[in-house]
Amino acid sequence: MGNELNEQEKKVIEQYAGFPEWKRLSYTKAHETEFIVTMHYLHKYLTPGAKIADVGAGGGVYTKALADEGYKVDAVELTPEYVKHMKEEFAGNEHIRVFEGNAKDLHFLNDNEYDLVLVMGPIYSIKDFEDRKRACKEALRIAKPGAPVFIAFCLQDAPLVHEIFMSEDPASEITEIGYDRETALVTDNTGSSRLLDIIPTVDELIDAVCKENDAKKVCRFAQDGISQIIGQQVNSMSEKSYVEWIQYLIATAERPDLMGFSDHIVQVLKKL
């Protein structure tokens, strides 16, 4: 597979080398919101005995959580370091299979095989529009008719606020990432493998995917809301306050007026 990697895929592997992705969703309360809200939505769509594909599984956080609930999970990951981690972590777990693979080419997984498909990282790690469509098409191919497909995106505005505008020298950092002040759009996101979307670019991709494949939009939800923007406050919450915060995030997760300031969002599609 190594010879088939393009420059963007090499950049993804390089960026995540040495980074314990399997710990990211539990670093702080603010980080944990993404996992809690997403699991809430997964439970809305999961059925007893469901077989799941976790494409772009990272370090296997969702893979493990779902396998611990008794589901069969096939985890696919591009980064060799994470594949190695999962194979060691899940050795002997009869509910989990781990594959090293590319979201754009899941030839080793069968058509119409999975009751739910997760694509939680690949789409914001792919910058070419046609390649993004190809990865979505592959996810739909392996899903059973009627199955939900969860496709995650990183949005630009929350990172701009909590990583750039709150830094000591935002003007310098803005110049480095590639940012158009007139449109307030991140143009390049230089130095990162992530593609930062805005709602209209998410719509453009999803509309194209639905038009070109047998799929329809089911719902769209914010995974973490403004938790990262007010991360310091979230991390300082009492347990009672945090419970209420989580309930607020779930209750408002699908509100379009709040969607754009979430770090991460998920579009749920249904294969027809």
DSSP state of 193: S
What residues does each domain of the chain span? Answer: 2-271
pLDDT per position as a tens digit, 79-122: 999 999 999 999 999 999 999 999 999 999 999 999 999 999 99
Distance CA 214, CA 253 (A): 26
Write out the two tokens for 14.
């390089």
Model pTM greater than 0.85? yes
pLDDT per position as a tens digit, 18-35: 888 888 989 899 999 999
pLDDT at position 225 = 98
DSSP state of 102: B
CATH code for residues 2-271: 3.40.50.150
pLDDT of 4 over the 90 cut = no
Write out the two tokens for 234.
């979230």
Distance CA 52, CA 37 (A): 18
